[in-house]
Amino acid sequence: MSKASEIPVHKRRIGLDPLPELSRMSVETPLTEDPEPGFSDWIATGRDEVRAILGDSERFSTRPPTASAVDSQQLVEPGNLLQYDPPEHGRLRKMLTPEFTVRRMRRMEPIIEKIVADQLDVMERAGQPADLMRHFAWPVPGLVACGLLGIPRDDLAELARILDVRATSRSKKKMVAIKAFDRYLVKIVEQKRADPGDDLLSMLIRDHGTDITDQELAGICSSFMAAALEGSTQMLGLGTLALLQHPDQLALLRERPELMDQAVEELLRYVAVVSNASPRTALEDVPLAGRVIKTGEVVACSLLAANRAETPGEPRDTLDITRENTTHMAFGHGIHFCVGASLARMQLRMAFAGLLERFPGLELAVPVEELRFRLFAPQYGVEALPVTW
Q: What pLDDT does 1 receive? A: 41
Measured between alpha carbons, how far is 269 from 300 in angstroms, rounded to an integer? 18
Of the candidates 222, 215, 219, the one whose C-alpha atom is nearest the C-alpha of residue 167 is: 222
| Pairing of β 280-282 and β 60-61 | antiparallel
The secondary structure element, H or E, covering residue 159 is helix 156-168
Helical pair 214-226 and 156-168, crossing angle rounded to 10 deg:
80
| Residue ranges making up the domain that contains 377 | 4-388
Tally the domains of the chain. 1
Tell me the average pLDDT of the chain: 91
Q: Looking at residues 192-218, what average pLDDT do you find? A: 94
Q: How many helices (H) and strands (E) does the chain have?
A: 17, 12
DSSP output for 219-277: HHHHHHHHIIIIIIHHHHHHHHHHHHH-HHHHHHHHH-GGGHHHHHHHHHHHH-SB-BP
Peptide bond into 129 cis (omega under 30): yes
Partnered with residue 386 across adjacent β-strands are 131
363-364 sheet: strands from edge to edge:
130-131, 386-388, 363-364
CA 96 from chain centre, in angstroms, equals 18
Q: What pLDDT does 313 receive? A: 65
Q: What pLDDT does 162 receive? A: 84
Measured between alpha carbons, how far is 328 from 303 in angstroms, rounded to an integer? 9
Measured between alpha carbons, how far is 44 from 375 in angstroms, rounded to an integer? 20
Measured between alpha carbons, how far is 18 from 21 in angstroms, rounded to an integer? 8
Of the candidates 245, 372, 296, the one whose C-alpha atom is nearest the C-alpha of residue 40 is: 296
Question: If pLDDT is split at 50, 70 and 90, which confidence band does 325 have?
Answer: low
CATH code, domain carrying 97: 1.10.630.10
Q: Looking at residues 80-90, what average pLDDT do you find? A: 94
Question: If pLDDT is split at 50, 70 and 90, which confidence band does 66 have?
Answer: confident
The secondary structure element, H or E, covering residue 32 is strand 31-33
- 324 versus 285: the higher-pLDDT residue is 285
Backbone angles phi, psi at 266, to 5 degrees: -70, -40
Q: Looking at residues 38-45, what average pLDDT do you find? A: 88
**Is 149 in contact with 224 (CB distance < 8 Å)?**
yes
Max CA distance (Å), the chain: 59
**pLDDT at residue 159 is higher than 80:** yes
Stated pTM of the model? 0.92
Name the residue type at position 373: F
Q: Who's near 170: CB < 8 A, 6+ residues apart?
A: 2, 376
Question: If pLDDT is split at 50, 70 and 90, which confidence band does 3 have?
Answer: low
Q: Looking at residues 116-123, what average pLDDT do you find? A: 98
Tens digit of pLDDT for each residue in 232-278?
999 999 999 999 999 999 999 999 999 999 999 999 999 999 999 99
Q: What pLDDT does 37 receive? A: 64
Tens digit of pLDDT for each residue in 343-357?
999 999 999 999 999
Partnered with residue 114 across adjacent β-strands are none
Peptide bond into 87 cis (omega under 30): yes
| Pairing of β 298-301 and β 363-364 | unpaired
Tens digit of pLDDT for each residue in 223-236?
999 888 889 999 99
Name the residue type at position 140: V
Q: What pLDDT does 75 receive? A: 85
- 136 versus 11: the higher-pLDDT residue is 136
**pLDDT at residue 5 is higher than 60:** no
Q: What pLDDT does 169 receive? A: 65
- 250 versus 36: the higher-pLDDT residue is 250
Which DSSP state fits 317? S
Q: What pLDDT does 4 receive? A: 54
Helices (H), 66-213: 69-75, 88-96, 102-106, 109-126, 132, 139-149, 156-168, 172-194, 200-208
Q: What pLDDT does 310 receive? A: 74
Residue 367 CB: number of other CB atoms within 10 A? 7
Backbone angles phi, psi at 14, to 5 degrees: -115, 100
Q: Looking at residues 362-374, what average pLDDT do you find? A: 96
**pLDDT at residue 281 is higher than 70:** yes
Please report, rounded to a whole number, the percentage of residues in the chain having pLDDT higher than 90. Answer: 71
126-161 as b/e: b if 16+ CB within 10 A: eeeebbbbbbbbbbbbbbbbbbbbbbeeeebeebbe
